[in-house]
């Protein structure tokens, strides 16, 4: 073993130990010079030997793009061109002039007399290389590059957090308009990874990377304004400033407060409280997206580390300062002035007359069910009052948000197919905003943040007619014709989503599986597979991730209600399938190449 100084920029300055060369006799100089290029099998790898300007070079015979044999290419002026997609490679270094193709592997060699000896182990740090390729794919929105890099990194044992850090930081810093669907999808995929089949986990990460790249393409990067040079560090003062600046849509002011708070080493709960308060100072900002973005930013930081908070948290600010405020819309003002109904309650809430925010009372099952029924009703005054009365009675904020999240999932489960297709998104927004509210209240409970409970409750009320009529819910009497075994039911669910609008059948299959007492882990993985084989639209990822999280929370506490959540997930996914499945095709190509296959054989 010998030590040498690597030239890899990612490892510059480190002493890396590499094996001595293991040379294998490959061919004679005369053989290579006679043809110009000669593919040979060396240690199980097909190496292309090239005679060039009095030297011999050795490169991988497989084009790194899609595996076409480079021996069939054309060499001119030191550049080898692949004939399939015309990728060009400089043969001495292996470097490509076409980023979609990747650099071709080069092999060390020695000439002993008239014989060529090749070391079949390329000198390359594979993890560092694939990390760079993932970044290249994100920058240039190269789907196949992102897929190959994701698969390659996972195969090398890289933890998902490492990939998520690359995608998360890129999406947060390279889009001046701030956090959008790409980062939400990436974080949602991170959250469901433990529930997916092992071979679907790289695919889930690829979905996230693909959507991050799509959301950034054509956007200008963000350059932050930096923290204050010193001075105020009191968290309450900074919070007051942040809310004041957000009120007048001052993005720079809010950003400088956030960065100053981070510089003062304020913790995650304090930052969550600041942003949670600001995003609830107005009604249902951004149609519920803004609060979801705030929640997802903190969930991403849970995975990649708090040290990246300056980049990640700054990205959610545009959603707070630029988002539509629902009190400015006619929907929230007529025919019922929901804002007018809520303002007196919020006055009492913030004054501490309803709760101090620290009550931990738990709802009995009957009271939980009664609240859900009230939330699903058509009397906004009664809904508002019911929530307030429960707070006065000492019920915990998270009890109210949990019931609200279930009610919103129930709205999806009851969504009737006689509605317009685009109305699926309306009930989805209520569910994801309620879910974000619940998770933020568990992270950073506050009276200011609790206003989001009423915001989502009113959005739930506004979409009551999407359950009129309500879709029939699966029951023990509607399973005729369904398979009876667990594996057969899962296969049936996948088969159903091969057809269009098999919504009710998918719901019945999911219900029957859960009621049959089968292990729910394979069902969660199958629902994940149902989405990941499609060209998923933004909201489908949200539905799956929020639904799995709520189901798991209710599973132990309310096993009678939990199945309804997965019924809602199955209905939503089936309603949006099948698609062209181009994403899956790209991934399959990448997986085949990673496994050493070629799309065109030698």
> Which sequence spans correspond to the domains of the chain?
2-118, 126-216, 235-321, 330-467, 486-584
Report in angstroms the alpha-carbon separations of 270 from 239, 342, 446: 9, 26, 11
The pLDDT of residue 14: 41
pLDDT tens by residue, 541-570: 999 999 999 999 999 999 999 999 999 999
pLDDT tens, 37-71?
999 999 888 999 999 999 999 999 999 999 999 99
Residue pair 371/386 in contact by the 8 Å Cβ criterion: yes
Classify 32 as helix, strand or coil.
helix
The pair of three-digit structure tokens given for residue 248, joined into one six-digit string: 């007048």
CATH class for the region spanning 2-118? mainly beta
Per the listing, tokens 């270094």 go with 93
Q: What is the pLDDT of residues 248-307, one digit of tens each?
A: 999 999 999 999 999 999 999 999 999 999 999 999 999 999 999 999 999 999 999 999
How many angstroms separate the CA atoms of 15 and 12, rounded?
Answer: 9
Q: Above 60 in pLDDT, residue 4?
A: no
- What is the mean pLDDT of the segment spanning 148-165? 97
Quote the pLDDT of residue 195. 98
Q: Token pair for residue 387?
A: 């929530």
* DSSP codes joined into one string, 194-226: GGS-GGGHHHHHHHHHHHHHHHHTTPPPP----
pLDDT band at 481 (very low <50, low <70, confident <90, very high): confident
Distance (Å, whole) CA 461 – CA 515: 30
Q: What CATH number matches the domain at 235-321, 2.50.20, 1.25.10, 3.30.1560, 1.20.272?
A: 1.20.272
Helices (H) and strands (E) in the chain, counts: 24, 11
Tell me the average pLDDT across 333-357: 97
At a CB cut-off of 8 Å and minimum separation 6, what does 383 contact?
A: 374, 375, 377, 457, 458, 461
Q: Is the pLDDT of residue 2 over 90?
A: no
């Amino acid at each position: 073993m010998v030590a040498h100084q690597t030239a890899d920029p990612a490892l510059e300055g480190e002493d890396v130990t590499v094996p001595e060369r293991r040379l294998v006799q490959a061919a004679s100089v005369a053989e290579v010079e006679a043809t110009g290029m000669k593919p040979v099998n060396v240690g199980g790898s097909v190496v292309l030997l090239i005679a060039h300007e009095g030297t011999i070079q050795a490169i991988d015979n497989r084009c790194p793009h899609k595996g076409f044999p480079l021996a069939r290419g054309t060499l001119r002026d030191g550049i080898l061109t692949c004939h399939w997609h015309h990728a060009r490679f400089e043969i001495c270094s292996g470097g490509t002039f076409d980023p979609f193709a990747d650099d071709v592997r080069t092999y060390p060699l020695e000439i002993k007399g008239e014989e060529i000896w090749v070391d079949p182990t390329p000198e390359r740090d594979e993890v560092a290389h694939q990390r760079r390729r993932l970044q290249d794919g994100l920058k240039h929105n190269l789907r196949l590059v992102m897929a190959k890099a994701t698969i390659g990194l996972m195969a090398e044992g890289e933890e998902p957090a490492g990939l998520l850090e690359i995608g998360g930081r890129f999406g947060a810093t390279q889009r001046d308009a701030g956090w959008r669907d790409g980062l939400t999808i990436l974080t949602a995929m991170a959250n469901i990874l433990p529930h997916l089949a092992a071979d679907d986990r790289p695919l889930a990460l690829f979905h996230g990377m693909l959507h991050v790249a799509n959301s950034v393409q054509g956007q200008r990067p963000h350059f932050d304004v930096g923290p204050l040079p010193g001075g105020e560090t009191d968290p309450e003062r900074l919070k007051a400033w942040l809310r004041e600046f957000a009120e007048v849509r001052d993005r720079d002011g809010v950003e400088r407060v956030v960065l100053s708070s981070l510089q003062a080493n304020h913790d995650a709960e304090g930052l969550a409280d600041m942003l949670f308060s600001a995003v609830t100072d107005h009604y249902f900002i951004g149609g519920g997206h803004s609060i979801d973005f705030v929640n997802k930013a903190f969930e991403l930081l849970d995975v990649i580390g708090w040290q990246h908070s300056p980049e990640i948290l700054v990205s959610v600010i545009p959603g707070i300062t630029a988002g539509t405020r629902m009190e400015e819309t006619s929907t929230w003002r007529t025919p019922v002035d929901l804002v007018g109904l809520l303002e007196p309650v919020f006055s009492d809430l913030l004054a501490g007359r309803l709760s101090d925010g620290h009550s931990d009372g738990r709802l009995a099952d009957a009271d939980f069910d009664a609240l859900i029924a009230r939330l699903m009703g058509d009397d906004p005054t009664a809904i508002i009052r019911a929530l307030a009365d429960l707070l006065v009675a000492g019920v915990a904020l998270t009890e109210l948000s949990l019931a609200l999240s279930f009610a919103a999932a129930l709205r999806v489960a009851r969504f009737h197919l006689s509605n317009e297709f685009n109305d699926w998104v309306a009930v989805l927004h209520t569910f994801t905003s309620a879910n974000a509210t619940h998770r933020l209240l568990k992270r950073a409970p506050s009276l200011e943040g609790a206003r989001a409970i009423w915001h989502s409750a009113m959005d739930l009320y506004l979409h009551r007619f999407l359950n009129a009529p309500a879709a029939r819910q699966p029951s023990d009497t509607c399973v005729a014709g369904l398979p009876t075994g667990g594996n057969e039911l899962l296969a049936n669910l996948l088969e159903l989503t091969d057809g269009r609008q098999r919504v009710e059948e998918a719901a019945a299959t999911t219900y029957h599986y859960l009621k049959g007492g089968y292990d729910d882990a394979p069902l969660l993985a199958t629902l994940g597979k149902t989405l990941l084989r499609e060209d998923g639209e933004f909201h489908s990822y949200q539905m799956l991730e929020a639904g799995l999280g709520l189901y798991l929370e209710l599973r132990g506490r309310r096993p009678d209600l939990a199945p309804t959540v997965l019924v809602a997930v199955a209905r939503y996914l089936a309603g949006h399938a099948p698609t062209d499945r181009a994403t899956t095709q790209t991934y399959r190509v990448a997986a085949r190449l990673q496994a050493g296959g070629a799309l065109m054989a030698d």
